[in-house]
Structure 1
Amino acid sequence: MGIRVVVVGAGLGGLALAQGLSRQGIDVVVYERDAANGRRQGDRVQLGPTGLAGLRRVLSQELHDLCLATASRPLAPPRMLDQKLNPTAENACLPREYTPETQTYAVHRATLREILLTGVNVRYGKEFTAYKLVGDRVKARFEDGHEDEADLLVGADGVGSAVRRQLLPHAEVNDAGLRLIYGRIPLHRRNELPAWVFERVFTLVRGPQAHVGLGPVILRNRPTDRLSPVDDYVACMVGTNRLPFDELRGMNGQELHHAAVSLIGDDWHRDVRCLLDRWDTESLFPLRIASAAEVEDWSTPGVTLLGDAVHAMSPTLAMGANTALRDGAELSHAIATSASLREAVSRYQARMLAYAMPLVQESRRIGRARIGQR
């Protein structure tokens, strides 16, 4: 009898794992609590070498090529500016240019997710509640009473992971104190926006009460008929540690826009204020940033974690999605090359914690130094 794997969570990491396992002929099913159209998690993902390598390891050549074909045009590395658009001292720590080995691309999250969903067995509207170890297997239970038994249960269910709560009840995920108001600026005509917005893959403009992040998504090729259409846009987010998340969560788009603009003072460059005036208010939603405390390796047979479920991190390094994609590739590879499933999971966990936890710590350090993270 072959291996059966149940993945909880149809985010990027869980789908990457499912792709890798499916290519090995392993029976894998993904359970997702949300409906098929999902909830907003942000429009843009910044894929660097780590994420790109993960995709290359789990996807067929056709799907991998489709990911690159629908990515944004390559741009120069990120930069940091003050509220008057002057470069800050932190730019000395950033690369001046990318090489072919370090090139980073912006991709539209929904398009990447559609590609990762290709051929994957996903069951929507299934909220995981608990698991039970049954001999060498594990039984997953869902809110609607459904149960599924597998050789391995993988919690890929994000920051609020229900799998993690049972597996590692002591593992802390802390509120980083940062709130983002996230949305997009449509690009009907590129010359409507300041030219400097399109020079870098990401620009962070930092003021005394808030920071503004701008990431253009200028597609090289339009998604094909098999993918949903996407227009060019600039992802625009305003971050602060001065607004209660519970209040933001109850606001509509217009109210979120007003809350963000209220943080931008008269000493900010007029370009920034003009950019916020072009925000699509219907696209706005709030995000709360979390950061995981360090966890030690665990030895529960048949259950493991990946992505934000185990190593949620501040977005300062743009490594959250990249690391989740690597997790999916690492676990898939470990299963393919290990003598047993127990050995595969053990190898994966040790390796994952070794590369992910330093990134959590570094993203926290930079977040505290640059954008007011706790």
Structure 2
Amino acid sequence: MEHFRVIIIGAGLAGSLMANGLMRNDIDVQVYEREERHSKREGFQIRLTTPAIVGMRACLSPEHLRSVVEKFGPASGMESEAPRVVHKDFTLLLDLGKYPTYGKNAPINRGTLRDALSDPIFDAGKVQYEKCFDSYEVINEGMAQECIRVWFHDGSKDDCHLLIGADGSYSKVNAQVGLNSIKPIKQHVALAAKCDLPTERFSRMSKSLFGGPIMTWADGMSFFFGVYLPRTFDKHGNRVTQKEDEEAYDKTLSSCMIGLNVEKQTIPDGLGDASNEEQWNFIADRLSSWSSEHREIVELARGAPLHIYTPRVATKPAKHWRENVRHSSGVIEKGHPRVWLMGDSIHAMLPPRGMGGNQSMYDAAVILPLISEMVQRAKLLGKPISRAHIEVALKKYENEMVPRAFAWVKKSGGNNFVPIDSSTLSGRLFFFIFAQLLNLACIWARLRGVFLKKPFIDTIPEFKWAKSHQE
């Protein structure tokens, strides 16, 4: 190979965003994805916050980023949102949208975002779908021609100077490089569904369901409900508005998401193979003693295909894990500096705080300048990028990423889906005290002259551009 080449395993949010950034910097990249193109497997909702915007701004052209921002679709207009935490009787415990220091967010369908990021890579011929990673090996170990050879299930291979594993919480790259740090949660099983939500159907829902997403932790379970209603644009890029708002939403993309996480021992044998009706009856039964609003949400989504799975969470790697695994195994592939990990393939976390995808995209903003700097230096010197240079860049990346991302793994609950249960006295007391502390923090901020922070979405030029075309 005459020029520096990167292979990315996984065309999800992190891998696709990373590839866009590398292409914009004229760095040779090839992406391999085990799923088919436009797979619906990851069609659930994601709520984007500032880290995602940072990652996209680093990797995408302004025009590309604007096209993504236009697909944001909070249920309450184009204002960004924050979750509402309610008890099982729907008593409001926390409305995080009222606190100026809480990071707001905007929803987008994960599949819509994934396609918006991966389609340009496909158009450039830089991604191959239905190509399942099998293993890698180090070629010309320690020599100037050192590279990574990647093998696939169909027996084919490809070579690169840097392999990036962005293959999610079941990452094979994570396992082979010797970290092997992502484990299933033993206590809970997750049930999730997304269903279409035409505007007229949403408008008939109880008014209490409008606004930001709803979260409940009670009876040893956690519950989530969120709505995605993207506005409609005409052929000139202007937002369509009407008095009744009946046709203002894109009905082909509007959807809602429901998630319920229950204790494993409450799951009946064979539920995963049961009929859709039986699966929804199980959810309805588990929430039968909860509020009418919770039960209304269940009936709203009833009939949609359910994804039942055991969540997986990463443990924080030791500071010198690469050196440790390399020395203990004696295998050159273990801990090798030419093999990097990003996104869920290294810091998989639980979904309650919605930061998994956001932190994954932020990873791309950290990695991109490190690779670009190496390539530019090599071009100036007329020399190939050595393993030593790659190792220096890797340490900079992991020294930044590990404390940042694993702080969010902890904030997202670690390996516990229900860290606070509002059906217990201690849980109710926690929410009461937490609300008072947040109120005091708001008062202190105002006394210090710190005014209400704008929703993050209103602070980025790309959103202001999109908004000007909507009015």
For the criterion TM > 0.5, the same-fold answer is yes
SS of 2:41's partner is coil
Name the SS for the 1:316 alignment partner.
Answer: coil
User: Which residue identity is paired with 2:420?
Assistant: R
> Partner of 1:166 in structure 2?
176
CA contact (8 A) 1:81 1:87 kept: yes
TM-score by length of 2: 0.72
Q: TM-score, normalised by structure 1?
A: 0.89
1:240 alignment counterpart:
262
C-alpha deviation, 1:38, in angstroms: 2.3
Per the alignment, residue 318 of structure 1 pairs with 354
Instruction: Say whether residues 1:194 and 2:227 are aligned partners.
Output: no
Bigger CA radius of gyration: 2
Query: 1:228-250 deviations in whole A, cap 9, x for unaligned?
Result: 98332221122212444984432
Q: Label 1:148 to 1:310 Cα distance change in 2 as closer, same or farther (>3 A).
A: same
CA contact 1:54–1:326 (8 Å) conserved in 2:
yes
Gaps of 5+ in 1: none
**Do the aligned partners of residues 207 and 102 (structure 1) sit closer, same or farther apart at CA in structure 2, a change above 3 Å counting?**
closer
Count of aligned positions? 365
After TM superposition, list the pairs within 5 Å mapping 1:118-197 onto structure 2: 118-120=119-121, 121-135=126-140, 136-175=146-185, 177-188=187-198, 189=200, 190-197=202-209
Pick the aligned partner of 1:363 from 412, 415, 419: 412
Return the match for 1:214 from 205, 225, 229.
225
- Give the Cα separation in 1 of the matches to 2:218 and 2:302: 22
Letter in 1 for 2:229: I
Distance change (3 Å), C-alpha of 1:246 and 1:165: farther
Q: 1:164 to 1:33 in 2, by over 3 A?
A: same
Instruction: State the alpha-carbon separation in 2 of the partners of residues 246 and 147 from structure 1.
Output: 41
Aligned to 2:401: 352
Q: Distance in 1 between matches of 2:283 and 2:296?
A: 13
Distance 1:285 1:353 in 2: 30
Q: Name the structure 2 match of 1:204.
A: 215
Distance, in Å, in 2 between the alignment partners of 1:109 and 1:245 is 30
- Offset at 1:301? 2.3
- Residue 317 (structure 1) shift: 1.5
Amino acid aligned to 1:152: L
> Is the 1:181–1:287 Cα contact (8 Å) retained in structure 2?
yes
Q: Distance in 1 between matches of 2:251 and 2:139?
A: 45
Larger mean CA deviation between 40-49 and 356-365 belongs to 356-365
Provide closer, same or farther for how the CA distance between residues 214 and 368 of structure 1 changes in structure 2, counting only shifts above 3 A.
Answer: closer
Q: Which runs of 5 or more residues in structure 2 are unaligned?
A: 141-145, 237-249, 323-334, 378-388, 423-471
Offset, 1:352: 1.1
Partner of 1:96: 98
After superposition, the Cα gap between the structure-2 partners of 1:71 and 1:95, relative to the gap in structure 1 and judged at 3 Å, is closer
| 2:155 partner SS | coil
* Shift in alpha-carbon separation, 1:321–1:123, aligned structure 2, 3 A: same
The 5 Å alignment of 1:298-317 reads 298=322, 300-317=336-353
Look up the SS of the partner of 1:282 in the other structure.
Answer: coil
